[in-house]
Amino acid sequence: MAHEFRKREEHAELVKRFEESLKLQTAVFFELEQYEIIIDYYLDRSKPAKALKAVDKAMDQFPYSSELLPLKANILSQLEQYEEALDILSTSRNLQPQDVDVLLSIGSIYSLQGKHQDAIAIYEEALTMTEDEQDEIFYHLGLAHQSLDDFDKAIGYYKKSIESNIRHEGALYELAYCLDIVGQLEASLSYYRKFIDEDPFSAAAWYNLGIVCNKLEKYDEALEAYEYGIALDETFASAHYNMGNTYMNLEQFTKALDAFRKTIELEGPSPEVYCCMGAAYEGLSQFELGLKYFQKSAKLDPLYDEAWYGAGNCLEKQENWYQALHFYNKCIKLNPHNAEYWKAAAHAEFKIGNTISSISAYEEASHLSPEDKEIWLNWSFIYYEQGEHAKAVEVLAQGMEERPDESELLYRMAVYLIEAGRFKEALNYLENGLILDFQGHTVLFDFFQNNETQKALYKIIEQFRKDHHS
């Protein structure tokens, strides 16, 4: 650990020297290996623009270095400058026609452009050129076929990748995902157990099994598998990390934190692990500590929207609505296609009193996740609270088009229609709600505090019960 810490300090100092040379515009010589450290430092922290400056400086100093061309292409790809990246990789390919990594990079860019068939052709060519990196090539072939919704072929390639390298984590996760999609995950347990039968002292084999059991919500079995894996290899950081996630699923947050701390001890800090630690502290209702770790995660990776969202949640639970909204707006900016972010922002806006902004955010959320009943309930409630019962009915009717058999929507519609004086329509929705979920009728009394109204509702509900349960 001490060695790793010193190394990180040395790397940070190197980057500092590089940035000072840029600022002062002084000519400072760096070794090629030092440039690679600087570039990796920026990429690890999701700073591709800075990485691009570093690689350009390196190429000025080492114009004949073949290692820098694919590195620059990778950075340009992250900046979505795909055509320029492909031009560089084409040059690199001409210089090193047998370099499989160059082909993999070309294939990855084709995939990012949605040219999955072109990517497949490149990966198949790569397969003919080497026997050393076949697990990675099979993995990329799997991803390309998965993107084309050809899950059977994707499954085949992921299995080949794992059989070439049992510790290929990407292939493990994607295989489990695809098997789940096609409804074969449960049946595939024997496939994963065969690795253990072949080598019971393989930490990776137990790890594989843990992943699948966790996916199948067999959490106790997953924990047992991870424990075996860790007993065989105490330094297996991914096993500790996934054990932590399994404890999170079981809401055993203190044990999850222990697992995440061990992961950091072995691998060093990462935005993903800090984010998980934030969620664990949130689960323990230690919101200040949760906020601290979500912020640490966002500091390591400012583009990590989940970290900003988690920070917002911790602030919301402390009823710090203004600050929470700031964080929600940040994660919306990073990922505007997540309905949960819009829903959270809408709630914060409502609590602050910004009803127009709240309505606008709920509307956006409804486009992204129309099946989410909470969106329709909360959005319509804004109008209800303002006494605009007709608008509340109108919004809720849209939600019922998406969820016609959701009893909570039916009961809420009955409330709005009663308030609007449309009693006959209200009775129809009330009866449909009672048919779907009789016990759910108790929500009605949260809205009607008047004794006379409560008595009238009780009579209707009691009569329904007698008619249908006699």
Is residue 239 within 8 Å of residue 210, measured between CB atoms?
A: yes
Q: Can you tell me the mean pLDDT for 393-401?
A: 96
Confidence of residue 71 (pLDDT cuts 50, 70, 90): confident
Tens digit of pLDDT for each residue in 450-463? 777 778 888 888 88
Residues with Cβ < 8 Å from 428, sequence gap 6 or more? Answer: none
pLDDT at 5: 54
- CA 114 to chain CA centroid, nearest Å: 21
pLDDT greater than 90 at residue 188: no
pLDDT at 378: 97
Is residue 311 within 8 Å of residue 298, measured between CB atoms?
A: yes
Tens digit of pLDDT for each residue in 341-396? 999 999 999 999 999 999 999 999 999 999 999 999 999 999 999 999 999 999 99
pLDDT greater than 90 at residue 266: yes
Tell me which residue has tokens 């924990």. 223
| Rounded Cα gap, residues 421 and 398, in angstroms | 20
DSSP H helices, 45-99, are 48-61, 68-78, 82-95
pLDDT at 185: 86
pLDDT at 99: 82
pLDDT at 11: 85
pLDDT at 447: 87
Confidence of residue 2 (pLDDT cuts 50, 70, 90): very low
pLDDT at 470: 53
C-alpha gyration radius of the chain: 28
At 170, the amino acid letter reads G
pLDDT greater than 80 at residue 66: no
pLDDT at 64: 78
pLDDT greater than 70 at residue 49: yes
| Rounded Cα gap, residues 373 and 376, in angstroms | 5
| Rounded Cα gap, residues 154 and 144, in angstroms | 8
Tens digit of pLDDT for each residue in 201-226? 989 889 989 999 999 999 999 999 99
Residue with the larger pLDDT of the pair 174 and 314? 314
Tens digit of pLDDT for each residue in 221-237? 999 999 999 999 999 99
Determine phi and psi for 146, rounding to 5 degrees: -60, -40
pLDDT at 285: 97
pLDDT at 1: 44
The mean of the pLDDT values for the chain is 91
Confidence of residue 402 (pLDDT cuts 50, 70, 90): very high
DSSP H/E element including 424: helix 423-436
pLDDT greater than 60 at residue 161: yes
| Rounded Cα gap, residues 276 and 273, in angstroms | 5
Torsion of CA 307, 311, 312, 317, to 10 degrees: 140
> Out of 60-64, 293-297, 318-322, 408-412, which region has the weakest mean confidence (pLDDT)?
60-64
Residue with the larger pLDDT of the pair 227 and 96? 227
Tell me which residue has tokens 């849209």. 398
Of 65, 66, 43, 64, the C-alpha closest to 54 is: 43
Residues with Cβ < 8 Å from 64, sequence gap 6 or more? Answer: none
DSSP H helices, 128-218, are 134-147, 151-164, 169-181, 189-198, 203-215
Q: Which range, 3-12, 63-72, 392-401, is most confident?
A: 392-401
pLDDT greater than 50 at residue 319: yes
